[in-house]
A and B are shown apart, each in its own frame.
Chain A
């Protein structure tokens, strides 16, 4: 439809802006993408940078309340009157005689007010600022008081705090893994596409071979191969590397395809005819051309990374305690028994989904914004 295209070209002629400011202008109009981006920033700052501050308890703090249900939040003071200060009801231990199982009931007579910026266990903010202030918590003077917004696990650890800490490793593996994948994929794809010949054949065969294995089964097999005896940190890095190893091929193939088509474009031929060096052609003309495409793909790949970690750890093939990630937290609900008796342990699931959804929303918005043809 020639008729419809007219306004578009006119507009572009009138407002001549750089590509990136156009991208930003278009991205801003996409509400979902903005929400996704904000959520991601929140996730990474809450879980990644300031987990110690936002979590009321430390990672390994074990309370006496084992598998306690979440405490409902109310706006009442200790006498039971309405108050702006939120508070939680206390918990009372009961024994179920038929199941011979201990469980907790909400005790509405006990009310623990929640205080903000309370002094609790000391930690180092960002790893070097010593402090003991947490966003919220119960009265430090009252040893009885406790707040378990999402309940506790088998060892009496606060699930809310653990989800925040768990997010750190899960989100980081997505980011770290993706940065490595991105770099490796770009470099290998560019080399393969630019030089062609033997290099290209070797890179191609490598990606093809890795690609012949379906993702998840290969991933499981490789993860299972990590020795149990390794230190948790080493396991963490190995797992990240495995993720990168499996994923880089797809990106490399795309970059190669783009480079191949860009290499024949007039502006590249022109640059070459001026005597531009290989490196200059590559970094000045070719790679920038693939960048926006790759950023979009990379963003959309992060959720897959996070989910892979979660799934593997959940199966017991990935991260293992004492490391805490979302997948490790989900290990606790791999049995039907725990879903029945401690369903609140599933609270981790919405967080995983929200993080994944945020990345998808952001990636989709980026794709729309970076698509030079305006698209649908």
Chain B
């Protein structure tokens, strides 16, 4: 068991080194960089000292050095927890991530909780009442949900909120609470804003979960052990939840593990961008748009790392829950 975890962690480490290098390469790939863009911008504005300032930047950030050396500097600093500076925000990447990670986590956790609280009971209902009207409605709704990408739904919600409710949607706080210290009123205000992105995430997330849960449970309900449990005199509810659902839900654990953790970092970047949320997603998008390489690279490495750790946790949980699975 411990050997297995150690092996997996070692594997993750190797992957992270590779991933960080590839990420660095990808972000480095386009000709020119943030500073050349900045230079053009400054020159266009007629800034005479532009070139000098940019050159100074270049030296400070080590951008005049060759690629491999820069990667080496970045990665060695990375291990120490120094992820470099963001050009766009002109602040250390650590600070930006630290500032937004909390909100990202709150949003991700509430979205995931909402998604699972909705999806599992609906999926179970749909499978146990196969072909009933409720099941058919669920099927149609999940069908639409599957085809509905979050960012388009966000646009639609934005439109309706504006025209029907006459309300500004976006952000996680009203203006007056933006910089206010935490208080009860601020939490209430947060909840008022939070439900929209959480709802959007849940709508797009539940659809596939419901489909998977329904399919798995239908397969399980056809298994002899369900009938055997019923023949033992158990209540139908016990038969379904203690025996059928307990077995059918295992594969979903993997989905939870591989999606939940990375979602905390980049949790639906597109939806967050539409709704202008103070989470990490929009920062990543912005960083890619302007080639803010250290910021983008760090976030990408974090996403991949979280995905792999999430997968490991999912495998461990699954092994704990399902005696048939042996770790090797």
Let me know if chains A and B touch directly in the complex, using CB atoms closer than 8 Å: yes
A209 pairs with B15, CB closer than 8 A: yes
Known: A315-B273, A353-B147. A212 touches B152 (CB 8 A): no
Q: Is B320 an interface residue (CB 8 A)?
A: no
Chain B residues lying within 8 Å of A333, measured Cβ to Cβ, are: 155
Within 8 A of A (CB), among B1-26: 15, 18-19, 23, 26
Minimal beta-carbon separation of B288 from chain A (angstroms): 4
Contact with B along A187-227 (1 / 0, CB 8 A): 00000000000000000000001001110111011101111
Q: How far is the CB of B225 from chain A (nearest CB, A)?
A: 15
- B307 at interface by CB-CB < 8 Å: yes
Contacts of A359 in B (CB 8 A): 147
- Interface residues in A322-376 by Cβ distance below 8 A to B read 330, 333-334, 336, 339-340, 343, 346, 349, 352-353, 356-357, 359-361, 364, 376
B269 to A339, Cβ gap below 8 A? no
B108 at the interface (CB under 8 A from A): no
User: Closest approach, in angstroms, between the C-beta of B247 and any C-beta of chain A?
Assistant: 18
Query: For chain A, what secondary structure do more than half of its interface residues adopt (helix, strand, loop), or is it mixed?
Result: helix
Q: A226 touching B30 by the CB < 8 A rule?
A: yes
B130 CB, nearest partner CB in chain A, Å: 7
Determine whether B296 belongs to the interface, using a CB cutoff of 8 Å to chain A.
yes
CA A359 to CA B147, docked complex, whole Å: 9
Instruction: Evaluate whether A224 and B30 lie within 8 angstroms (CB atoms) in the complex, with A212-B19, A214-B304, A336-B170 already known.
Output: yes
Q: Which residues of B contact A213 (CB under 8 A)?
A: 19, 300, 303-304, 307
- The answer on a CB contact under 8 Å between B269 and A225 is no
* A296–B152 alpha-carbon span in the complex (Å): 25
A349: contacting residue among B146, B155, B308, CB under 8 A:
B155
- Chain B residues near A175: list those with CB within 8 A: none
Stretch at the interface among B48-56, B117-125, B156-164: B156-164
Which chain B residues border A214 with CB–CB below 8 Å?
Answer: 262, 266, 303-304, 307
Q: Which chain A residue shows the least CB distance to B270?
A: A311
Across the interface, name the chain B residue whose C-beta is closest to A361: B143
Q: Are A353 and B269 neighbours in the complex by a CB distance under 8 Å?
A: no
Asked whether any CB of chain A lies closer than 8 Å to the CB of B291, the reply is yes
| Complex Cα gap A342–B159 (Å) | 10
> How many whole Å from B11's CB to the nearest CB in chain A?
10
Nearest to B31 among chain A residues (CB) is A227
The one of A224, A340, A349, A361 in contact with B289, judged by C-beta atoms closer than 8 angstroms, is A224
A87 within 8 A of B: no
CA–CA, A349 and B300, complex, Å: 29
B262 touches A343 (CB 8 A): no
- Whether, in the assembled complex, A303 has its beta carbon less than 8 Å from a beta carbon of chain B, the answer is yes
Residues of A within 8 A of B27 (CB): 221, 224-225
Asked if A317 is an interface residue, CB under 8 A from chain B, the answer is yes
A212-B19, A221-B288, A339-B155 given; A360·B307 CB < 8 A: no
Contact B30 A227 (CB under 8 A): yes
Is B149 among interface residues, defined by CB-CB distance under 8 A?
yes
- Decide: B29 and A225 in contact? CB cutoff 8 A: yes
Contact B269 A217, beta carbon cutoff 8 Å: yes
A222 lies within 8 A of B152 (CB):
no
Task: Decide if A216 touches B269 in the complex (CB within 8 Å).
Answer: yes
Separation in Å of the B32 CB from the closest CB of chain A? 8
Contacting residue for A217 out of B152, B159, B273, B300, CB 8 A: B300
Q: B residues within 8 A CB of A346? A: 155-156, 159
Minimum distance in angstroms from A136 CB to a CB of chain B: 28
CA distance A227 to B36 in the complex (A): 14
Choose one: B130, B143, B273; the contact of A360 (CB below 8 Å).
Answer: B143
Q: Return chain B residues, CB-CB under 8 Å to A221.
A: 23, 26-27, 288, 296, 300
Tell whether A229 is near chain B: CB-to-CB under 8 Å: yes
- Nearest-CB residue, chain A, relative to B151: A311
Q: What is the chain A residue whose CB lies nearest that of B311?
A: A212
Residue among B158, B269, B274, B288 making CB contact with A224, cutoff 8 Å: B288
Contact of B148 among A228, A314, A330, A353 (CB under 8 A): A353
Give B283-328 interface residues, CB cut-off 8 Å to A. 284-285, 288-289, 291, 296, 299-300, 303-304, 307-308
Is B191 in the interface zone, CB < 8 Å from A? no
B105 interfacial by beta-carbon distance below 8 Å: no
Q: Are A228 and B30 in contact (CB under 8 A)?
A: yes
From B155, B273, B289, residue with most partner A Cβ within 10 Å: B155
A-B contacts besides A224-B27, A357-B147, 16 pairs, CB < 8 Å: A217-B266, A217-B299, A218-B300, A221-B23, A224-B288, A224-B296, A227-B30, A229-B31, A311-B270, A336-B158, A336-B168, A343-B163, A349-B155, A353-B148, A357-B144, A376-B218
Which 10 pairs of residues, A with B, have the shortest CB-CB distance?
A225-B29, A224-B288, A356-B147, A357-B147, A307-B149, A221-B26, A360-B147, A225-B30, A227-B30, A217-B303
Residue numbers of B with Cβ under 8 A of A are: 15, 18-19, 23, 26-27, 29-31, 130, 143-144, 146-149, 151-152, 155-156, 158-159, 162-163, 168, 170, 215, 218, 262, 266, 269-270, 273-274, 284-285, 288-289, 291, 296, 299-300, 303-304, 307-308
A-B contact pairs, 25 of them (CB 8 A): A213-B304, A214-B262, A214-B307, A217-B269, A217-B284, A217-B299, A218-B300, A224-B288, A224-B289, A225-B26, A229-B31, A303-B147, A311-B149, A311-B270, A314-B151, A315-B270, A315-B273, A315-B289, A336-B170, A339-B159, A340-B162, A346-B155, A346-B159, A353-B148, A360-B143
